[in-house]
């Protein structure tokens, strides 16, 4: 597969697995995903998400649990009325009233469930196995009598004795159930056990088997794939792995692994994954960790020097997939681990700079990485622009040797500076309305002249309190000479001083030029 650089060691696994020809993707972001603590989608958000899932190519959208409320029923009905290609499914307990609510919502498929493990039967349902089986059969009959697709789940299947599971699944199959879903409700399985369980179920059942794995031990995707390797033909997933407690198997991870590592067909358009993830991130207000696989901000970001060098030389050295394949972009990030040479290589490959300028940018980056965790390409661009726009050290008439600024809530902002003007050292102090004002006054006092600040502009380049900022100033001296200065840095006060010093040097430059004329 083009753009995929996974291990050759997977080949024998591909050959001996019992993959279905096509694996169906059942998305439950709007149902199990909405059960994530703190998540509540609005009607508009549910519609937007359903449309995106449909675009993505999801086969079934579990749009909610209709019996929850009339609002929920109506929302599901509205989603159904969008006329999407994906089938719309509603969840129901093995209770006739729940199925009636699904019928009202006009769904294509009803996903019925009843708990089958000892612990759930005894403490939650307070029911024996025979009664639960009777309800499962009656509800299957009811769904099928209304001409709908019926997907049946033994809740807590993975803590239910296998013989009992088979009794339930075989019985509902005889009554017309279309899909057997196997929920690992509390995420207590591991891949080999899951492979064994699905192999056993498959050998006794005719209808397709579906996986529904929770992530309590971080194994939801691995368990889902193990079931698929044993022949399950459908998987329940959620965008960003949302879901009860630690969540469900992530759609992005399960689908991408299945399609690229195992080369199994699903109808998913991988290049829309990042877009879908961002949408759900915004609607759920659950921020993805940067290292979330496939769609996380760091999934295709490279920092360390050797890695950046490798990636720039041949991307697959450090990328198992091309970022474009999953709708991502490669990002080169400078940070604490970025070596001097890597910075120089990176900067010189992207910008046309002299050796001295490359060194200056490199030094600025290294200084910044002490305080700022990561430096993006935008930051580097700003630093390069700052260096390109700055005056070479040798041409500076006035140089800043030392500064000290004190500010606080019960103190007048005070600054002291030591400058060198030509070969003369000059020291002065000043107070002001803020630290930058105090510094500007101290500098003017040291130079013994008044300089008017005509313009001062401060702009943050990237978000966060450790963002880089650009400062631009325009100053005017008593002779009417004006000049601009610009500086980039992580410290607002220092960037302001550097911009000011630059503008002063330009003023002195102008004066020298005039005298020369």
Contact residues toward ligand KIV (CB under 6 A) are 32, 91, 113, 153, 155, 183, 185, 212, 214
The Cα-based distances of 227 to 6, 161, 347 in angstroms read: 21, 18, 48
Query: Closest separation between CB of residue 373 and Zn ion, Å?
Result: 36
Is the CB of residue 158 less than 8 Å from the CB of residue 184?
yes
Nearer to Zn ion, 32 or 379 (CB): 32
302 binds, among ligand KIV, Zn ion, none (CB under 5 to 8 A by kind): none
Beta pairing partners, 54:
none
Which among 35, 40, 102 has a CA at the least distance from the CA of 67?
A: 102
What's the token pair of residue 414? 């005070």
Nearer to Zn ion, 211 or 419 (CB): 211
- Interacting residues with Zn ion between 123 and 182 (CB under 5 A): none
Q: How many residues bind Zn ion (CB under 5 A)?
A: 1
Nearer to ligand KIV, 183 or 485 (CB): 183
- Interacting residues with Zn ion between 18 and 77 (CB under 5 A): 32
Query: Closest separation between CB of residue 256 and ligand KIV, Å?
Result: 23
**CA distance linking residue 409 with residue 412, whole number of Å:** 8
140 binds, among ligand KIV, Zn ion, none (CB under 5 to 8 A by kind): none
Nearer to ligand KIV, 116 or 277 (CB): 116
305 binds, among Zn ion, ligand KIV, none (CB under 5 to 8 A by kind): none
Sign of the alpha-carbon torsion through 213, 214, 215, 217? negative
Is residue 500 classed as helix, strand or coil in its secondary structure? helix
Helix (H) or strand (E) holding 92: strand 87-93
Is the CB of residue 374 less than 8 Å from the CB of residue 303?
yes
Buried/exposed 102-122: b ≥16 CB within 10 Å, e otherwise: bbbbbbebbbbbbbbbeebbe
Nearer to Zn ion, 245 or 341 (CB): 245
Per the listing, tokens 């630290």 go with 435
**CA distance linking residue 296 with residue 6, whole number of Å:** 19
202 binds, among Zn ion, ligand KIV, none (CB under 5 to 8 A by kind): none
Query: Closest separation between CB of residue 253 and ligand KIV, Å?
Result: 18
Query: Closest separation between CB of residue 32 and ligand KIV, Å?
Result: 5
Nearer to ligand KIV, 205 or 304 (CB): 205
**CA distance linking residue 424 with residue 399, whole number of Å:** 10
Provide DSSP, 367-404.
HHHHH-SEE-HHHHHHHHHHHHHSPPGGG-SEEEEEEE
Query: Closest separation between CB of residue 111 and ligand KIV, Å?
Result: 7
Beta pairing partners, 404:
416
173 binds, among Zn ion, ligand KIV, none (CB under 5 to 8 A by kind): none
**Cα-trace Rg, the chain:** 32
Nearer to ligand KIV, 110 or 483 (CB): 110
153 binds, among Zn ion, ligand KIV, none (CB under 5 to 8 A by kind): ligand KIV
Which among 330, 324, 208 has a CA at the least distance from the CA of 270?
A: 324
**CA distance linking residue 249 with residue 265, whole number of Å:** 18
Per the listing, tokens 């769609």 go with 295
Per the listing, tokens 């220092």 go with 494
Query: Closest separation between CB of residue 217 and ligand KIV, Å?
Result: 14
Nearer to ligand KIV, 209 or 365 (CB): 209
113 binds, among ligand KIV, Zn ion, none (CB under 5 to 8 A by kind): ligand KIV
Query: Closest separation between CB of residue 175 and ligand KIV, Å?
Result: 19
Query: Closest separation between CB of residue 369 and Zn ion, Å?
Result: 43
Nearer to ligand KIV, 94 or 504 (CB): 94
Query: Closest separation between CB of residue 17 and ligand KIV, Å?
Result: 25
Q: Which chain residues interact with Zn ion by CB under 5 A?
A: 32
């Amino acid at each position: 597969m083009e753009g995929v650089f996974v291990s050759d060691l997977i080949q024998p696994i591909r050959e001996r697995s019992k993959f279905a020809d096509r694996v169906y993707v059942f998305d439950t972001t709007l149902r199990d995903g909405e059960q994530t603590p703190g998540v509540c989608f609005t009607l508009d958000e549910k519609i937007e998400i359903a449309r995106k899932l449909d675009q993505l190519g999801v086969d079934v959208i579990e749009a909610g649990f209709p019996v929850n409320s009339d609002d929920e029923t109506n929302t599901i009905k509205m989603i159904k009325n969008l006329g999407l290609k994906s089938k719309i499914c509603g969840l129901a307990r093995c209770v006739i009233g729940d199925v009636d609510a699904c019928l009202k919502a006009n769904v294509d498929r009803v996903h019925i469930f009843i708990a089958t493990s000892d612990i759930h039967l005894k403490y939650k349902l307070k029911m024996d196995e025979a009664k639960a089986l009777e309800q499962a059969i009656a509800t299957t009959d009811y769904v099928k009598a209304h001409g709908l697709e019926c997907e049946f789940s033994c809740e807590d299947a993975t803590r239910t004795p296998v013989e009992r599971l088979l009794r339930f699944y075989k019985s509902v199959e005889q009554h017309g159930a279309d899909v057997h879903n196997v929920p690992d409700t509390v995420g207590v399985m591991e891949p080999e056990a899951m492979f064994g369980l699905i192999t056993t179920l498959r050998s006794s059942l005719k209808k397709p088997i579906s996986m529904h794995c929770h992530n309590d031990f971080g194994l939801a995707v691995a368990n889902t794939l193990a079931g698929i390797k044993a022949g399950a033909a459908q998987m329940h997933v959620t965008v960003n792995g949302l879901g009860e407690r630690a969540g469900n198997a992530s759609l992005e991870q399960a689908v991408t692994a299945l399609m690229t590592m195992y080369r199994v067909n699903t109808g998913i358009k991988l290049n829309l994954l990042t877009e879908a993830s961002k949408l759900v991130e915004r609607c759920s207000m659950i921020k993805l960790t940067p290292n979330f696989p496939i769609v996380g901000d760091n999934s295709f970001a490279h920092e360390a020097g050797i890695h950046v060098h490798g990636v720039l030389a041949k991307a697959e050295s450090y990328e198992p997939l091309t970022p474009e394949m999953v709708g991502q972009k490669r990002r080169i990030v400078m940070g604490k681990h970025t070596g001097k040479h890597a910075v120089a290589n990176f900067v010189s490959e992207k910008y046309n700079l002299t050796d001295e300028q490359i060194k200056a940018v490199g030094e600025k980056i290294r200084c910044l990485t002490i305080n700022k965790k990561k430096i993006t390409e935008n930051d580097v661009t700003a630093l390069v622009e700052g260096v390109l726009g700055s005056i070479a050290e040798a041409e500076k008439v006035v140089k800043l040797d030392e500064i000290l600024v004190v500010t606080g809530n019960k103190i007048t902002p005070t600054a002291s500076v030591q400058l060198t003007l030509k070969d003369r050292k000059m020291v002065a102090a000043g107070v002001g309305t803020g630290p930058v004002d105090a510094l500007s006054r101290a500098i003017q006092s040291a130079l013994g002249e008044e300089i008017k600040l005509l313009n001062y502009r401060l702009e943050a380049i990237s978000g966060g309190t450790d963002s880089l900022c650009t400062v631009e100033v325009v100053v005017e001296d008593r002779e009417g000479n004006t000049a601009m200065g610009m500086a980039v840095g992580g410290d607002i006060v220092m960037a302001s001083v550097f911009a000011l010093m630059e503008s002063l040097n330009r003023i002195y430059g102008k004066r020298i030029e005039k005298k020369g004329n």
